[in-house]
Amino acid sequence: GAGVSQSPSNKVTEKGKDVELRCDPISGHTALYWYRQSLGQGLEFLIYFQGNSAPDKSGLPSDRFSAERTGGSVSTLTIQRTQQEDSAVYLCASSRYRGETEQFFGPGTRLTVL
Amino acid sequence: SQQGEEDPQALSIQEGENATMNCSYKTSINNLQWYRQNSGRGLVHLILIRSNEREKHSGRLRVTLDTSKKSSSLLITASRAADTASYFCATPAGGTSYGKLTFGQGTILTVHP
């Protein structure tokens, strides 16, 4: 596609449920990033992929959060046993290669945990 | 913690006026970027300035960088209602050789028609 896409655009879930958020990066982009944006914390880095590997997971807030990337393309961010503090907009970004500075962002997934 | 701190937090101006936003950062950087966000969703890259540059222009945008003061400014000239958005500065996270970014808290710009 022409840009980074994310699905779903909105997700409402109950506390304790698991959710999966999907990111389709720009074709050919080898680097992929997940960020989270919430009112209290601003924009926070979560995890970085280079190809299918995640050399930097330092931003994942707890072991309830995990992510994978397959085929050097699609990435899925999974949150297990969601909590209300997980409510945020989850943004995915990609760039052409490691070290490339301009990142292209998707529209985000707004997660609401009731 | 946020690398960049921006001010003002909010700015309200009339169409045609200029808007200036400032960003300060803490650690040494090799570049600084500005992004725009509409309606709390995806960010759009506006401009990148490298540490060896002092000023850069792109259309109605002018960015300056003062590495001695660890600060940058974004000037939007002849603003339009469509410029209404949140603006963020972003810097590469310290010690990384890839594009992991640290964002400021952002400036909310409102341009009144």
> What local confidence, expressed as pLDDT, does residue B42 receive?
83
- Segment B41-86, tens digit of pLDDT: 789 999 999 999 999 999 999 999 999 999 999 999 999 999 999 9
**Cβ distance A106 to B106 under 8 Å?**
no
Residue B83's SS3 state is helix
Q: Which residues of chain A have pLDDT under 70?
A: 1, 99-100
B-interface mutation test, from A47, A57, A90, A103, most B Cβ less than 10 A away: A103
Whole-number percent of chain B with pLDDT over 90? 70
Chain A residues within an 8 Å CB radius of B4: none
> What local confidence, expressed as pLDDT, does residue A1 receive?
53
> What local confidence, expressed as pLDDT, does residue B30 receive?
85
B-interface mutation test, from A101, A102, A110, A112, most B Cβ less than 10 A away: A101
Sign of the alpha-carbon dihedral angle for B61, B108, B87, B30: positive
Residue B2 pLDDT level (bands cut at 50, 70, 90): very low
Residue B44 contacts A where some CB pair is shorter than 8 Å: yes
Q: Decide if pLDDT at B15 tops 80.
A: yes
Distance from the A104 Cα atom to the nearest Cα atom in chain B, whole angstroms: 7
